[in-house]
Amino acid sequence: MLIVGGSYQDAEILRVVGFRRMTLSNLQDMASFEPLQMTGVELRTVNADAEEMSLADGSYDLVLAHEVLHHCRSPHKALLEMLRVSSKHVILLEPNDSLLMQALVRFRLSFPYELPAVVANGFEAGGVRNSCVPNYIYRWSPRDLQQTTASFLPESECDFYIRSYWDFNVDREELARRDQTRIGSFTRIVGPGLFLAGLHVFQAIATHLPWVREQGNKFFGCVTKRDELKPWLLRQGDGIAFNREHGAKG
């Protein structure tokens, strides 16, 4: 597995669920690594730009990016690199582009640009390509993922597993960084503790309501590359040719 823009926290979570051979790219804090926590894991590092990875095609069975693509100048270019480097699966976890999230941004209950990440990094990093410039929060939709994949792999059949969900992974400190949205007005009235408790109750309920879950703030997408070609193509020697019999049927 290649974890694009991965951290040791990502690796530890994946170790817990059973992964044993992982490569991290774009590491920022080598000092935080504690080898004893990764016993039994083959963990490597590689210096790879998410938007232009110097890695061979199909180098890894699985390529994963967790909350990374929206920090790129071109999230789609990073996804194309993931599709190129992967031989089987690509997984991305990113913000979700739902009607409700669009409304929350419009009414200033969510950010269009990720200012809190830069604030949390001392105003020096955390933005686009880890710079001090707050990145635009590119939000994904199923159609977006499917069209981007089909454009890059027009000859191949692919399977998609896509799920939207709610995840309020924030604490009081993170909440305090959102004063520039109208959330600050709510927290000053009800208090941060009660506000966070309300978020967690909503998350627990929304998980079991399909339509509400689809409007969630998070997007999970998995692309599985298959060996089969599109029905109008066939393998010819080392290359691909148009299936003339299929053309005749059309």
Q: How confident is the model at residue 38 (pLDDT cuts 50, 70, 90)?
A: low
Calculate mean pLDDT across residues 29-51. Answer: 72
Residue 43 lies in a domain: yes
In DSSP notation, the chain reads -EEET--HHHHHHHHHTT--EEEEES-S-GGG--GGGGTT-EEEEE--BTTB----TT-EEEEEEES-GGGSS-HHHHHHHHHHHEEEEEEEEEEB--HHHHHHHHTTSS-SB-HHHHHHTTTSSSSGGGSSSPPB---B-HHHHHHHHHHH-TTEEEEEEEEEE------HHHHHTTTTSTHHHHHHHH-HHHHHHHHHHHHHHHTT-HHHHHT-SEEEEEEEEEEEEPTTEEEETTEEEE-HHHHHH-
CATH number, domain of 13, equals 3.40.50.150
Residue 109 lies in a domain: yes
pLDDT at 241 over 60: yes
Amino acid at 94: E
Residue 195 lies in a domain: no
Calculate mean pLDDT across residues 66-70. Answer: 95
Residue 173 lies in a domain: no
User: What's the total number of domains in the chain?
Assistant: 1
Q: Which two tokens stand for residue 88?
A: 């089987």
Q: Looking at residue 20, what is its pLDDT?
A: 92
Instruction: State how beta strands 218-229 and 42-46 pair.
Output: unpaired
pLDDT-above-70 percentage for the chain: 92
Q: Looking at residue 248, what is its pLDDT?
A: 64
Calculate mean pLDDT across residues 83-100. Answer: 97
Q: Looking at residue 180, what is its pLDDT?
A: 64
User: Over the chain, what is the mean pLDDT?
Assistant: 89
Report pLDDT digits (tens) over 123-143: 999 999 989 999 999 999 999
Residue 91 lies in a domain: yes
Residue 38 lies in a domain: yes
Q: Looking at residue 30, what is its pLDDT?
A: 45
Per the structure, the complete domain to which residue 72 belongs is given by 2-166+207-249
Residue 7 lies in a domain: yes
Q: How confident is the model at residue 161 (pLDDT cuts 50, 70, 90)?
A: very high
Best CA proximity match to 16, nearest among 39, 44, 34, 45? 39
Residue 39 lies in a domain: yes
Comparing 32-41, 111-120, 139-148, the range with the smallest average pLDDT is 32-41
Longest dimension (CA), the chain: 70
